[in-house]
A and B are shown apart, each in its own frame.
Chain A
Amino acid sequence: MTMSKWAQRINPAVQNIPPSGIRKFFDLVAEMKGVISLGVGEPDFVTPWHIREACIYSLEKGYTMYTSNWGLLELREAVAAELQNTYNVQYNPRNEILITVGVSEALDLAMRALLQPGDEVLIPEPSYVSYAPCTTLAGGKPVFLPTSLDNGFQISADQVRAAITPNTRVLLLCYPNNPTGAVMEREELARIAEVAVEHDLVVISDEIYDRLTYVGQHTCMSSLPGMQERTILLNGFSKAYAMTGWRVGYAAGNPDFIGAMTKIHQYSMLCTPITGQMAALEALKNGRAGMRRMVEHYNRRRHLVVQAFKDMGVPCFEPGGAFYAFPQVSVTGLSSEQFAEELLKQEQVALVPGNAFGKSGEGFVRVSYAASIDDLSEAFRRMARFVRRCGVRPRVISAPSQISAARQEGICQTL
């Protein structure tokens, strides 16, 4: 295929980024009616009213100007206090915390500040869609650490060690994980920390789902011995406070890292919009009770989801965090994309095929349980019907003969 004159002018680094695996589904869904979507990567709650009201008040009072490049000092102080209270890690709000336009920007800044051409970044897989492209755009090379159902989608210290080459500079961590819902056990995380120290790796830890941990306690990477100085901790307000569209996040780390990131931030973004920062401040000041209630809701739905897949006979690992379940739909004999596409066409339930989050997500789909109980129940009824048509017996884990039968028929649409 010949490229148009203008396409040739696009930087190959951008040109070569593969299109998002989610896009195709988005287009498909847009044409359909009566769809229940479990494909949404954000809370179903609207931002709590007191936060919205505080933002309106800030506008009334005329807070419409630039802030410091670093973000409002008051917000940085509140973030520092929050980190100290929750994980007992200390950051100086004056030079170790940067308020960013969501974790997305913070991730990009971290990559750009750290990477030189050819530097390798270790990234667990499956994982959020932007880690690899951000690495590539910053000139680095993503090296994936595949995880699987067998080990609860956790990476291991041995795995990290085995993937290290002379070019490895950064280890990216993303737990609780999107799309698997996996959390890391503290002991293994401590071993991974030792490997990072041993090989002098910088760790970028995206802990945006930290508050949505249902099993055990979340371990903040910076809180492990020797890790604070070599960790760039990323977090934000989107998930815990249902504030996705506000785009407020932060990075915390040593003054050199954060200073370098701020340099890029000041010349590209200048500062995070003040309106979002005012809202974030209110969330930290008065949002804890509301946040706990939301977490409680997610946890109840989590039980519903796990039980539903158990009843369907579809293997599903019990997610310990975030608001996703990651069932292994390959028992139907379908690939991730086939399953998602056929389920959408036949039963009008939308979810995201697992391979959109990396090769090792193949055979799985991501089911978001950030949806109302009524929607969840109806979606599971439809899904159970579909799975049964594909020859999976309820409450039987993988009966091989049935699977191969379904497989031979290819897509089991007219059963």
Chain B
Amino acid sequence: MNNVEKEVLELLENNARLTAEEIAVMLNADAAEIKRIIRELEDRKAILGYITLVNWEKVGEEKVSALIEVRITPQRDVGFDAVAERIYRFPEVRSMRLMSGTYDLAVFLEGRSMREISNFVSTKLATIEGVVSTTTHFVLKAYKQDGVIMEDGEEDRRLVISP
């Protein structure tokens, strides 16, 4: 990966709405070249998507999320991957990671209610072959996500004009 690629990725990681033209100006590069780089990064799945970070509470939408600690039995040849795939294919699973430590999978679920989530855990997740146990932790409050503080009180407090 060259330097320009890295800078493009850093810029887009923080603000996916930047246009290729804007990025080109900021990096003192050619717009066509930046477009080509972005397309190429998308093609090789270095850029996987452009999503919007939403605070649903602000629009009065109730969402419940939970972290499920899942212990699974690894299988010959594929290890944890086959069971993992059966779990992460569910759209209810927002993100999932294989962890070191006392459990194997950290599964983040999102649903409309606690009942929906417990339902999913007991009927779908826990019953998958290879899943040994689950421990459900409901999220009480989100403070920060993907590097963004949810309720950031630090607005611009500078004087409007200063020497």
Q: List residues of A whose CB falls within 8 A of some B CB.
A: 20, 22, 25-26, 29-30, 35, 37, 39-42, 44, 46, 128-130, 178, 300-301, 303-304, 307, 350, 352, 356, 373, 377
Contacts and interface: CB of A to CB of B under 8 A. Distances in A.
A40 B158 contact: yes
**Main secondary structure on B side of the interface with A:** loop
B146 interface: no
B159 interface: yes
Interface residues on B, range: 10 to 19
A303 B25 contact: yes
A319 to B, nearest CB: 14
Interface string B150-161: 000010101111
A227 to B, nearest CB: 28
A350 B161 contact: yes
Contacts of B25: 303-304, 307
B163 interface: yes
Contacts, number: 55
B93 to A, nearest CB: 32
Interface of B: 11, 15, 18, 22, 25-28, 154, 156, 158-163
Which residue of B11, B18, B27, B159 has the most chain A CB atoms within 10 A of its CB atom? Answer: B159
Contacts of A352: 161, 163
**Main secondary structure on A side of the interface with B:** mixed
Contacts of B18: 373
Contacts of B154: 46
B38 to A, nearest CB: 16
Contact of A40 (B11, B26, B162): B162
30 contacts: A22-B161, A22-B162, A22-B163, A26-B160, A26-B161, A29-B161, A30-B160, A35-B160, A37-B158, A37-B160, A39-B160, A40-B158, A40-B160, A40-B161, A41-B163, A42-B158, A42-B162, A44-B158, A46-B154, A128-B163, A300-B26, A303-B25, A303-B27, A303-B28, A304-B25, A307-B25, A350-B160, A350-B161, A352-B163, A377-B22
B5 to A, nearest CB: 15
B163 A129 contact: yes
B26 A39 contact: no
A40 B159 contact: yes
Contact of B26 (A22, A304, A356): A304
Contacts of B159: 26, 40
Contacts of A39: 160-162
